[in-house]
Amino acid sequence: MSADLRTTYMGIELAHPVVPSASPLTGDLDTLRRLEEAGAPAVVLPSLFEEQIEHEEMEVARLLEFGAESFGEATFGYFPELDDYATGPGTYLDLVNRAKSTLSIPVIGSINGTSKGGWIKYGKLIEEAGADALELNIYFIPTDPKMSTAKVEQQYLDLVMSVKESISVPLAVKIGPFFSSIPYIAHRLVESGADALVIFNRFYQPDIDIDDLKVRPNLQLSSSTELRLPLRWTAILHGRIEASLGVTTGVHTSEDVIKLLLAGADATMMASALLHDGPDHLRRVVSGVEQWLTDNEYQSIEQLKGSLSQASSPDPGAFERANYMKTLVTYAGPFV
Amino acid sequence: MNKKVATIDGNEAAAYVAHKTNDVIAIYPITPASPMGELADAWSANDQRNLWGEVPEVIEMQSEAGAAGAVHGSLQAGALTTTFTASQGLLLMIPNMFKIAGELLPAVIHISARTVATHALSIFGDHSDVMAARSTGFAMLASSSVQEAHDLALIAHAATLEARIPFMHFFDGFRTSHEVNKIELLSDETIRALIDDELVREFRSRRLSPDQPAIRGTAQNPDVFFQAREAANRYYDAVPDVVQASMDRFANLTGRTYRPFDYVGPSDAERVIVLMGSGVGAVEETVEELSRRGEKVGVVKVRLYRPFSPSAFIGVLPATTKSIAVLDRTKEPGAIGEPLYQDVVTAIAEEESAGRTAWEAPPRIVGGRYALSSKEFTPAMVAGIFAELETPEPKNHFTIGIVDDVTHTSLSYDEEFSTEAEGGTRAVFYGLGADGTVGANKNSVKIIGENTPLYAQGHFVYDSKKSGATTVSHLRFGKEPIRSTYEIQNANFVACHQFNFLEKMDVLAIAQPGATFLLNSHYGPDEVWDHLPAGIQKQIIDKGLGFYVVDGDKVAGEAGLAGRINTVLQTCFFALSGILPRDEAIAEIKEAIAKSYGKFGETVLQRNYAAVDGALAALHEVEVPSRVTAAADGRQLIPDHAPDFVQRVTALMMEGKGDLLPVSALPVDGTFPTGTTRWEKRSIADEIPIWDPEICIDCAKCAMVCPHAAIRMKVYDPQALETAPARFPSKDWRSRDLPGKKMTIQVAPEDCTGCGVCVDVCPAKSKEIVRHKSINMRPQLEHVDRERKNFEFFLEIPEMDRTEVKTDTVKGSQMLEPLFEFSGACAGCGETPYVKLMTQLFGDRTIIANATGCSSIYGGNLPTTPYTANDDGRGPAWANSLFEDNAEFGLGMRLAIDAENSQARSLVSALSAGIGESLAEDLLSADQTDEVGIAAQRDRVAQLKERLEQIETDDARNLLTVADALVKKSVWIVGGDGWAYDIGFGGLDHVLASGRNVNILVLDTEVYSNTGGQASKATPRAAVAKFAAGGKPTGKKDLGQIAMAYGNVYVAQVALAANNIQVVKAFSEAEAFDGPSLIIAYSQCIAHGIDMEKGMSHQKEAVDSGYWPLYRYDPSPEKHHPFHLDSKKPSIPFKQFAWQEARFAMLARSQPEEAERLFRLAQEDIDERWSLYEQLADIERNVPGDLEEVEA
């Protein structure tokens, strides 16, 4: 008998824990369909960005009105007037709506921003468009040396509370790893209303073009080596917070998934690997997980989940600083 | 019945009816009629239907001649058809109008009456266009207000069906077409009730159809033409009664009564003014005021001008009339009088001689001209005319509103006379085009017009600059309908939305005592006083003004609307004016914001709401001190060394006081001195580029791309620096060609528009701080004083000797003096750098024919013009003829120059003995292919002139007048894509085929830029433009290919930012090519919906994507492979380029699937064209003999 792959992620039962996370693949109805065919248990749609909403609205208004009522021969501006410039979330909501009506798996909408503002009402609109849950991706890069850690954290908490108040579907909060105390902020976020934490946001780090001397955005797909960071914090957080744990970054293979489940993840999120190998990769990963469970005589995911978390590990120190020391002193490479 | 009101302008009022009552609408954009076509197109695009449930087909044609042809054909084939036009557009329709009338085809042309170009173009309003069309056989119905433009539009459509005579329905351009006024909107039922379907069926049954074949448009001979021409007489005879009947039916339905002639005034009036159009409002107000004072004056409003019914006219004229002034808003030089005057004289004479009059003695009739080109026409002027009519010998053929000190036609009048009542609100707002003042004021008029019982009127005045333009809004609100068809003269509310206007214009001259003055000011209520000019302080005190300040920029900035102060100031207006209770006003403003901005999304809405909420807290009353504390205004607008004409004439226009100039001050033939923009220091930039010589790499790109010649490069001898100001920057010029020289990049700090394009293209970056370039935008206020001195010195540095410069290089070209500077073009304009380059390369021997459009407006709109001359007094000579004829106009110049050259050469030969065989031989055989040769020939011509002075023969005197033609001249035919691809294409084609040596520069913005962004045949597939709201479905016309097909035309397609040197080479080769040359220049434009600061980056992407391939086609005999592809294979997809521009991106938003389809096709266009061009690059071609024939 094959193992029971089901898992529960923020109250939603999933057929298995390998979820396609937000990426261009989940922004298109055709690829969404292919992901479902490949066995995706749910999908996280790409994020609707705060900046995208606000900036685009302002830019469209600015550019289309530029020059209007300024020159006697072109008093009405330079573009035909439309009733709706579709600047808002209309296209996105349409995607949610169509994804929901096309797919039979849960659809998780996503918004990305840093501050409370008019834009958060789009969370509600996404819910109304049919999303089964919402992922709030908080992407804040502090640059002001006078802004305290506490203030930064409060901003996160305020935002989570505002969004949580406005919706009734489950809320997942996706954060980055750059906190003084991940367990503390995780705890506070859950207190503020997060039904799940997704760790970690993989910031797109800018690059510098040394020919042009320009800073350029640079998207690089992740690799399995990046799994270590979320792996550790999954192990630490598991059992310590009253919320589901979704883990993303570096999830490429069935081995990666199993490691995260052992550490305590409720769901694992996959993007780079699917972008690289296509939607069918998902089927292979799931079948690898299933095979491993069978080979190792696990009956269910639930049985496996968190069995090697810090709380359950025979070597709790392995997830702490000691691990760092050990790694360094035992490292052996071509130059040592 | 519930009457529905609307607050709309005259264009919308007329177009509304036209769209309801027609099947087909064929149009072409022209100011001020364009909005009618745009609205009709938008309504059809929005699926709005006509009376018969159909969506009218709106089609944009290539010209008004084309539109008229399409109208004619559509009428012949049985569709109810209309069009909208003005001015030159109407003139182009005239041939078809004769046909349409001759064939008794019922139709209405709605016209925003506009001045016809004579000594100058004018976009403003008068009746010279409609009067020029009065012999076409069209009936003419004149509306004098926005309500009438609505009502008479319907009456015209109703009457034409019954009368079978086509109608011109006209109203005054700008004054009525653009005035926003509260009107009663006609219901569909009313429109339906007036349009008789039986007549529509009859019209349709007369259609040309193979099912009932007939022939029209025959050629007739002397035997019958005349009789046939008379055969339709009874139709014309019937028109006045038909119109009256329509008006009566209309009155029954609406309660608004009209007659072909309407009289207002006491029944025993002795003095009567006759006129038509918007001036009626001012006259009617004056008649009422003077009647109240006991004067016996009246006015006849002419509505049905053609056919003119003498009996109807006499019927309304009081029998007591002793004197009549007939006012014409047109001038017909050489006529006994203007048309309406002549008609009135004839009508009275005929009725009198037929014994059909009731008076004791016929009245004395005088005619007068008024308000040409939207000149103001005020009650004071009307009172002046009535006063003149009271004199025993009233002046005939008078003018009013000007001072004619030459032929003394003008009447004087008491300027203090006013009919402006005590009650009501009269508010005047001074703003910038860019700050949204007009838009907010239009909203205010709508708010009050549509939500209160008050009547509301908005009239808006724009200046002729496209960058840093000022706007003045005149808003009236009151309990009675507002007929005041003139600008506010005594305002009880004045708002100045830009603090720096206080230095530039007398914004308070218009304020009446006790008025409220609202100033947008960074300075708070406690400190603002000390920053006001003395003149403003004095008026605030003397007139007892209530003075308020608000920091609109701060409030807007905090709301996330930097620079858009409109909402803040609008809120303050409502708060101060008290027209509505404050809470109600705020609610209404927010609702208006939702209507205006809701389409852009929630963020825009919320930010505007925040601005409203922030405004009231930031509004403060200023405690006005009892005395003036500022020093007297000592500023001098124009320096003493400016030319006399500039000081006497131009200066007044610059100050906004051009109305004061008498006739004698103006040239008799439209000839003006060039080089006057340099005297108009506008200081419109917040930031200007400042040069850091430490990093500069001498590339000259900044100077090359500057749209306004406001950043310049000079290379000079070090000695020139001896008298330099202390902090004048310079550096060594690094070049083997010109060793030991210094160079400076200098900004013209008061002429720069602050567009930032120079900084965007500057490739030199600091090693330490990469964002610090060799030029950087810095606050103008902090740098203007020093840079002004530096610029003055910079101008004194001698220009490079042109013979020492390699002119066909980028650096070389930028060492040459630009002879096109500081135009009023948009900040970041993509066209002007090409024009400037042309003047640098050839300006001292160039004559320019300029098509109407952006380039003629920034090139030739008064008060100041940008083409200028060098120290030798040589520079471009420029003229604009029309929109449609520019290629032919330029060819004519070439023919004249060639004729003069030919004459000069003959005379040199004939006089060779007298002037010296050697000089004569050298003159005739001179090689003028480069600057050295041209300089040498100029020296020879100078010698020739000296020698000719000594020869006392007619030949010598004749040669003196044409001797300059011996120096090579360069003819440039310049215009936009609307001209080259559409309206002027036939002429352009003919000129290309002529083989003559002309250079054609097409500034291709891919859209009608000047008239507000209508699609042209240069508009690319997938771009959204007016008349292509769903994205242009077809590809751009390949004008270059068409020209290349001749085989003997030099053709280049260029984009400045993508390849500087290719542009310079193309210009040089085109000019050198002894035959027709065509340069198609990519010109970014605000109509593309881009950030203009980054315009050059867009150019580069246009080329990188293959969207705009660069090439040169040089058919010179030595070039066996004439086609040279100058750009590299496309390296980015079209989408990547297109997504950066709102013209493409907005389709992707509004219609994503259609956008996807059109984007795919656009990419296929690019791929296919690139493949074609690659193949062309291998083609060998030599066109036999053509070039030799031309030379022969």
pLDDT tens, residue by residue, A243-302 = 999 999 889 999 999 999 999 999 999 998 999 999 999 999 999 999 999 999 999 999
Query: Does residue B616 have a pLDDT over 50?
Result: yes
Instruction: Return the closest-CA partner of residue B1064 out of B813, B802, B845, B820.
Output: B813
Rounded-to-integer distance, Cα B794 and Cα B711, Å: 11
Rounded-to-integer distance, Cα B778 and Cα B1052, Å: 37
Query: Does residue A326 have a pLDDT over 70?
Result: no
pLDDT of the residue at B1190: 43
- Chain A hits for B1007, CB-CB cut-off 8 Å, are 78
Q: B1079 vs B747, B818, B1000, B1140, CA distance in Å?
A: 29, 19, 6, 26
Could you tell me the pTM of the whole model?
0.92
A82 and B CB contact within 8 Å: yes
Rounded-to-integer distance, Cα B232 and Cα B687, Å: 67
Rounded to a whole number, what is the distance in Å from the CA of A19 to chain B's nearest CA?
A: 29
Burial of B107 (0-12, 13-18, 19+ CB in 10 A): buried
Average pLDDT over residues A69-96: 84
Q: Is the Cα dihedral B550, B551, B557, B559 positive or negative?
A: negative
| Owner of token pair 């705890």 | A187
- Chain B hits for A81, CB-CB cut-off 8 Å, are 42
Q: B81 vs B200, B217, B1092, CA distance in Å?
A: 12, 19, 40
Query: Does residue B1181 have a pLDDT over 90?
Result: no
The CATH superfamily label for domain B4-210+222-253 reads: Thiamin diphosphate (ThDP)-binding fold, Pyr/PP domains (3.40.50.970)
Four-way CATH pick for B638-673: 3.30.365.10, 4.10.780.10, 2.60.40.1180, 3.40.50.1370:
4.10.780.10
Q: Which two tokens stand for residue B1190?
A: 């031309």
Name the average pLDDT for chain A.
Answer: 88
Closest residue to B462, CB basis, from A53, A72, A80: A72
**Mutation for B interface: A29, A78, A121, most B CBs within 10 A:** A78
Query: Does residue B1191 have a pLDDT over 50?
Result: no
**Cα dihedral value B886, B892, B898, B904, nearest 10:** -120
The amino acid present at B344, given as its one-letter code, is V
**Mutation for A interface: B1149, B1151, B1156, most A CBs within 10 A:** B1149
A49 and B CB contact within 8 Å: no
Instruction: Return the closest-CA partner of residue B617 out of B573, B519, B551.
Output: B551
Q: Which two tokens stand for residue A125?
A: 């609109």
Rounded to a whole number, what is the distance in Å from the CA of A309 to chain B's nearest CA?
A: 44
Q: Which two tokens stand for residue B667?
A: 């040239």
Kindly report, residue by residue over B362-401, the tens digit of the pLDDT: 999 999 999 999 999 999 999 999 999 999 999 999 999 9
Rounded-to-integer distance, Cα A40 and Cα B1045, Å: 59
- Chain A hits for B180, CB-CB cut-off 8 Å, are none
Closest residue to A73, CB basis, from B603, B1007, B1010: B1010
Contact A80 B1012 (CB under 8 A): no
Contact A53 B1012 (CB under 8 A): no
Degrees, nearest 5: CA angle A217-A223-A226: 90
Contact A80 B1026 (CB under 8 A): yes
pLDDT of the residue at B748: 98
Rounded-to-integer distance, Cα B283 and Cα B483, Å: 10
Closest residue to B1087, CB basis, from A70, A78, A213: A78
Whether domain B425-621 has CATH 3.40.920.10: the reply is yes
Average pLDDT over residues B1010-1018: 96
The amino acid present at B608, given as its one-letter code, is N
Contact B1012 A73 (CB under 8 A): yes
Closest residue to A80, CB basis, from B42, B434, B1152: B42
Q: Which two tokens stand for residue B698?
A: 């001498």
Contact present, B565 and B553 (Cβ < 8 Å): yes
**Cα dihedral value A10, A13, A17, A22, nearest 10:** -60
CATH of domain B260-400: 3.40.50.920
Kindly report, residue by residue over A204-225, the tens digit of the pLDDT: 778 888 887 788 777 778 888 8
With a pLDDT cut of 70, the percent of chain B lying above it is 99
Q: Is the peptide bond before B863 cis (omega within 30 degrees of 0)?
A: yes
Average pLDDT over residues B836-861: 98
Task: With H, G, I as helix, E, B as strand and everything else as coil, classify residue B706.
Answer: coil
pLDDT of the residue at A222: 84
Rounded to a whole number, what is the distance in Å from the CA of A24 to chain B's nearest CA?
A: 17
Rounded to a whole number, what is the distance in Å from the CA of A62 to chain B's nearest CA?
A: 9
Is B511 or B655 the better-scoring residue by pLDDT? B511
Closest residue to A63, CB basis, from B433, B826, B1142: B1142
Q: A127 vs A51, A135, B311, CA distance in Å?
A: 20, 11, 75
Contact present, B1020 and B1008 (Cβ < 8 Å): no
Contact A79 B1091 (CB under 8 A): no
Query: Does residue A103 have a pLDDT over 90?
Result: yes
Instruction: Return the closest-CA partner of residue B838 out of B1002, B1046, B642, B605.
Output: B1002
Is A218 or B1067 the better-scoring residue by pLDDT? B1067
Helix (H) or strand (E) holding A218: none
Instruction: Return the closest-CA partner of residue B29 out of A70, A63, A83, A75.
Output: A75
Contact B31 A61 (CB under 8 A): no
pLDDT of the residue at B545: 97
Query: Does residue B635 have a pLDDT over 90?
Result: no
Question: How many C-beta atoms surround the C-beta of residue B990 within 10 A?
Answer: 12
Contact present, B314 and B324 (Cβ < 8 Å): no
Q: Which residues of B are catalytic?
A: 31, 64, 114, 1010
Task: With H, G, I as helix, E, B as strand and everything else as coil, classify residue B592.
Answer: helix
Rounded to a whole number, what is the distance in Å from the CA of A68 to chain B's nearest CA?
A: 7
Contact A53 B601 (CB under 8 A): yes
- Chain A hits for B1146, CB-CB cut-off 8 Å, are 60, 64, 79, 82, 85
Looking at the DSSP bridge assignments, the partners of residue B25 are B58, B82
| Owner of token pair 């065509």 | B1078
- Chain B hits for A57, CB-CB cut-off 8 Å, are 600-604
Closest residue to A84, CB basis, from B42, B599, B1087: B599
- Chain B hits for A85, CB-CB cut-off 8 Å, are 599-601, 1146, 1149-1150
A255 and B CB contact within 8 Å: no
Nearby residues of B210 by Cβ (< 8 Å), 6 or more positions away: none
- Chain B hits for A74, CB-CB cut-off 8 Å, are 1009-1013
Kindly report, residue by residue over B552-597, the tens digit of the pLDDT: 999 999 998 888 899 999 999 999 999 999 999 999 999 988 888 8
Contact present, B678 and B867 (Cβ < 8 Å): no
Kindly report, residue by residue over B220-272, the tens digit of the pLDDT: 999 999 999 999 999 999 999 999 999 999 999 999 999 999 999 999 999 99
Rounded to a whole number, what is the distance in Å from the CA of A210 to chain B's nearest CA?
A: 11
Rounded-to-integer distance, Cα A16 and Cα A4, Å: 8
Q: Looking at the structure, give the CATH architecture of the domain made up of residues B681-816.
A: 2-Layer Sandwich (3.30)
Rounded-to-integer distance, Cα B967 and Cα B940, Å: 9
Is B768 or A42 the better-scoring residue by pLDDT? A42
Rounded-to-integer distance, Cα B12 and Cα B38, Å: 10
Average pLDDT over residues B805-813: 95
Average pLDDT over residues B1021-1050: 95
Rounded to a whole number, what is the distance in Å from the CA of B279 to chain A's nearest CA?
A: 21
Q: B487 vs A7, B287, B379, CA distance in Å?
A: 75, 18, 11
Nearby residues of B1018 by Cβ (< 8 Å), 6 or more positions away: B977, B978, B980, B981, B1004, B1005, B1006, B1007, B1036, B1037, B1039
What's phi and psi for A73, nearest 5 deg? -90, -10
Q: Where are the domains of chain B?
A: 4-210+222-253, 260-400, 425-621, 638-673, 681-816, 1006-1186
pLDDT of the residue at A118: 63
Rounded to a whole number, what is the distance in Å from the CA of A336 to chain B's nearest CA?
A: 38
Rounded-to-integer distance, Cα A201 and Cα A208, Å: 22
Share in percent of chain A as helix, strand, coil (round to 5): 45, 15, 40
Rounded-to-integer distance, Cα B83 and Cα B112, Å: 11
**Mutation for B interface: A52, A59, A71, A87, most B CBs within 10 A:** A71
Per-residue burial over B992-1019, b if 16 or more Cβ lie within 10 Å, else e, is bebbbbbbbbbbbbbbbbbbbbbbbbbb
- Chain A hits for B42, CB-CB cut-off 8 Å, are 80-81
Burial of B859 (0-12, 13-18, 19+ CB in 10 A): buried
Closest residue to A118, CB basis, from B599, B600, B602: B602
Kindly report, residue by residue over B905-933, the tens digit of the pLDDT: 999 999 999 999 999 999 999 999 999 99
Q: Measured in whole angstroms, how far is the alpha carbon of residue A244 from the centre of its chain?
A: 13
Nearby residues of B350 by Cβ (< 8 Å), 6 or more positions away: B310
- Chain B hits for A67, CB-CB cut-off 8 Å, are 433, 466, 826, 1086-1087
CA nearest to A210 within chain B = B770
With a pLDDT cut of 70, the percent of chain A lying above it is 93
Name the average pLDDT for chain B.
Answer: 95
Closest residue to B603, CB basis, from A54, A67, A77: A54
Kindly report, residue by residue over A137-164, the tens digit of the pLDDT: 987 888 999 999 999 999 999 999 999 9
Closest residue to A73, CB basis, from B765, B1011, B1087: B1011
Residue B452: DSSP 8-state: S
Contact A78 B1029 (CB under 8 A): no
How confident is residue A116, by pLDDT bands cut at 50, 70 and 90? confident
CATH class for the region spanning B1006-1186: alpha beta
How confident is residue A13, by pLDDT bands cut at 50, 70 and 90? very high
pLDDT of the residue at A328: 47
- Chain A hits for B31, CB-CB cut-off 8 Å, are 72-73
Average pLDDT over residues B608-622: 95
With a pLDDT cut of 90, the percent of chain B lying above it is 91
- Chain A hits for B601, CB-CB cut-off 8 Å, are 53, 56-57, 60-61, 85, 87-88
Query: Does residue B1149 have a pLDDT over 90?
Result: no
Residue B693: DSSP 8-state: T
Count how many pairs of residues, chain A against chain B, have C-beta atoms within 8 Å: 155
Contact present, A286 and A18 (Cβ < 8 Å): yes
Least confident among A318-332, B356-370, B487-501, B1143-1157 = A318-332
pLDDT of the residue at B1: 47
Residue B983: DSSP 8-state: I
How confident is residue B823, by pLDDT bands cut at 50, 70 and 90? very high
Kindly report, residue by residue over B8-19, the tens digit of the pLDDT: 999 999 999 999
Contact present, B972 and B848 (Cβ < 8 Å): yes
For each of the domains in chain A, give its residue range(s) and CATH number, in order of start.
7-310 (3.20.20.70)
**Mutation for B interface: A69, A76, A213, most B CBs within 10 A:** A69
Nearby residues of B527 by Cβ (< 8 Å), 6 or more positions away: none
According to DSSP, the β-strands at B139-142 and B304-306 are: antiparallel
Q: Measured in whole angstroms, how far is the alpha carbon of residue B552 from the centre of its chain?
A: 30
Query: Does residue B636 have a pLDDT over 90?
Result: no
The amino acid present at B469, given as its one-letter code, is A
pLDDT of the residue at B1192: 36
Contact A67 B604 (CB under 8 A): no
Rounded to a whole number, what is the distance in Å from the CA of A120 to chain B's nearest CA?
A: 11
Contact present, A286 and A36 (Cβ < 8 Å): no
CA nearest to B853 within chain A = A73
- Chain A hits for B765, CB-CB cut-off 8 Å, are 213
**Residues in A 314-333 with any Cβ partner in B closer than 8 A:** none
Q: Is the Cα dihedral B41, B46, B49, B55 positive or negative?
A: positive
Rounded-to-integer distance, Cα B826 and Cα B757, Å: 12
E-assigned strands of B286-417?
A: 297-302, 304-306, 323-328, 364-370, 398-400
